[in-house]
Structure 1
Amino acid sequence: MSLITNVMDHSLDDGYAEAAARKKSQGGEGGMPKTLRAKLVLAAGLVLAALVVTVGAAQARVAAPVVAKERQELIDRIDSETEDADQLESTVDKLRDDVSARQRAALKSSGGSADVDLAGLLSGATAVHGPGVKLVVNDAKEASTGGDGTNPRETSDFSDTGRVRDRDMQRVVNGLWASGAEAISINGQRLTALSAIRAAGDAILVDNRPLVPPYTVLAVGDGDKLSTGFQNGADGLYLHALEEQYGIRATISTEGEVRLPAAPSVIVRTAQPKSEKTEKGTS
């Protein structure tokens, strides 16, 4: 009976039981070890990543010549359009000079005087050069957009007291005119009797063209007289006050030779009295 009982309680030899337990701890019966399975998964992931990188590199290599070709074509188009624009600008300048010469000839032949050239200079229709002054006006170093609404110079468009504004440039230009300037330009933009200095958001517009600081104002005239007259005048003192109170930067210097371009277009509108026949017809 004891032998039968021992066989029933220990159906497997102890060596078999130990081997079965070891296999179970390594991955279960009939399965592979966990460490081997993890290594296989990692290897498969690395292979997949390498495949993706290889395919991406191959596609980039294939697309690179196409992108480079499109980029070069765009550069060539830009260069071509720039050359065309330069040629058109040169043509416009030649036509403007021709028109001006014809206007002067027509005015002189119809009884005009030598004041024709002076009128063209003062109206901004012709380029001018000569002695004058150079005035550079710039925002304060700490100037930025925005504010708390408590600044004494605040408007609906500008709330930073350190920024140069349209009305500041208006006073600068008017002060130079009053001091004897014969012609003025701002950042290369020639001013005429029809010019307007306005604001659009944070930008200053001169004849609807936006300008960015620093604002370089060139004025033709007696340099010493212009400089002294402007700085001692009300507008020069106003600019000096902006420097002291708000940090706006401004420098003025006399120049032996100042060159100002002609205005892009000067459209003069004239009015004529109606004839008696026209007045009777419309009455």
Structure 2
Amino acid sequence: MSLLTNVMDHSLDDGYAEAAARKQADGAGGLPRTARAKLFLAVGLVLAALVVTVGAVQARVAAPVVAKEREELIDRVDRETESADELESAVDKLRDDVSSRQREALKQSGGERADLVGILSGAVEVHGPGVKLVVDDAKEATSGGGGGPRETAGFSDTGRVRDRDMQRVVNGLWASGAEAVSINGQRLTALSAIRAAGEAILVDNKPLVPPYTVLAVGDGKNLSTRFQNSADGLYLNALQENYGIRTAISVVDDVRLPAAPSVIVRTAQPKTEKDAS
């Protein structure tokens, strides 16, 4: 208690008190005493006040300019967004036109087999019995780091669904008798590609967001049984047991799949001497 009382009664260290007393005795402490020192102090105070005042004025003047630039930037973003929406709408209309022309061409060249060709190629919408398979990341995906076989630079999370997993799922459905397949509304054809970009899964260069809903048209009950008993179905089950990836498959009476955006086959031609010249 005596120590606490001493600290409270003598909050200023004795050494500091002695130094302050010596300065006061020498005339070096306190306010300046000479006219020159007082003049320097006054000039310093005036300069400090001037700097603060100028800064406040500049900030007040610059505020409307910054606000105006911000509004102009927002307006520009809105205009560009509207332009992008218009372009996207135009692209959708052109895709619909291309799809309709493709269907007409199939009818003219395919005869009675046109409908079957359109379904198998993905050029037309299709509906019928089938299955619905939902694949999702693990509820609590944990970061990998133990050198597991599913770790890659793009998917360090062992609880994440990868592009290779979805490739096996789709191939397993085709092999089990599926007549048409889509992922998150993207119709798959013989030209479709399932790839990864960073940590996103792309289907025909369009990024998908989990959960991944796979719809397949076919003999629903048999298709479900065959897929679950296939090597790819067992692979998906192993992902669920070992990594917590969530899956659910169900038989659906009527599955509806949209037409593919494009089924144009592009081929490369060798460059001739005439083209080179």
Q: Same fold (TM over 0.5)?
A: yes
- CA offset digits 1:69-92 (Å, max 9, x no partner): 342133123213312320331133
Q: Tell me what 1:190 maps to.
A: 187
Q: Which moved more, 1:240-249 or 1:125-134?
A: 125-134
Identity within the alignment, %:
56
Task: Give the match for residue 141 of structure 1.
Answer: 139
Alignment counterpart, residue 56 of structure 1, candidates 45, 59, 72: 59
Q: Distance in 1 between matches of 2:201 and 2:62?
A: 49
Residue aligning to 1:96: 99
Contact persistence 2:224–2:250 (CA under 8 A): yes
What is the match of residue 15 of structure 1? none
CA distance in 1, matches of 2:66, 2:201: 45
Aligned residues: 242
CA contact (8 A) 2:143 2:158 kept: no
Counterpart residue number, 1:250 = 247
Superposed, 1:15-34 pairs within 5 Å as 27-31=32-36
1:259 match: secondary structure: strand
Distance of 1:24 and 1:174 partners within structure 2: 91
Map of 1:153 onto structure 2? 150
Structure 1 CA distance for aligned equivalents of residues 239 and 246 of structure 2: 8
Q: Secondary structure at the match of 2:52?
A: helix
- Which amino acid letter does the alignment assign opposite residue 68 of structure 1? E
Within 2, Cα distance between the matches of 1:156 and 1:67? Answer: 39
Give yes or no for contact 1:23–1:29 (8 Å, CA) kept in 2. Answer: no
Amino acid at match of 1:103: L
Contact 1:125 1:266 in 2 (8 A): yes
Cα-to-partner distance string for 1:17-46 (whole Å, 9 max, x where unaligned): xxxx9998753444455xx97677456524
Q: Distance in 2 between matches of 1:77 and 1:130?
A: 41
Determine helix, strand or coil for the equivalent of 2:210: coil
SS in 2 for 1:107: helix
1:224 counterpart residue number = 221
Give the letter aligned to residue 62 of structure 2.
Q
**Aligned-residue offset at 1:183:** 0.5
Instruction: Please report the RMSD computed on the Cα atoms of aligned residues, expressed in angstroms.
Output: 3.3
Q: Deviations for 1:113-163, whole angstroms, at most 9, x for unmatched residues? A: 2x21111101112222233222121222343565242x1334576554322
Residue 117 (structure 1) aligns with? 115
Q: Does 1:263 align with 2:260?
A: yes
Shift of 1:199: 4.1
Distance 1:200 1:91 in 2: 27
TM-score for the superposition, normalised by structure 2: 0.72
Q: What secondary structure does 1:27 align onto?
A: coil
**TM-score (structure 1 length as normaliser):** 0.70
Q: Secondary structure at the match of 2:100?
A: helix
Q: Which has the larger radius of gyration?
A: 1
Deviation at 1:200, TM superposition (A): 4.8
C-alpha contact 2:129 2:217 (8 A) present in aligned 1: yes
Q: Distance in 2 between matches of 1:198 and 1:84?
A: 26
Which of 45, 66, 87 is equivalent to 2:90?
87
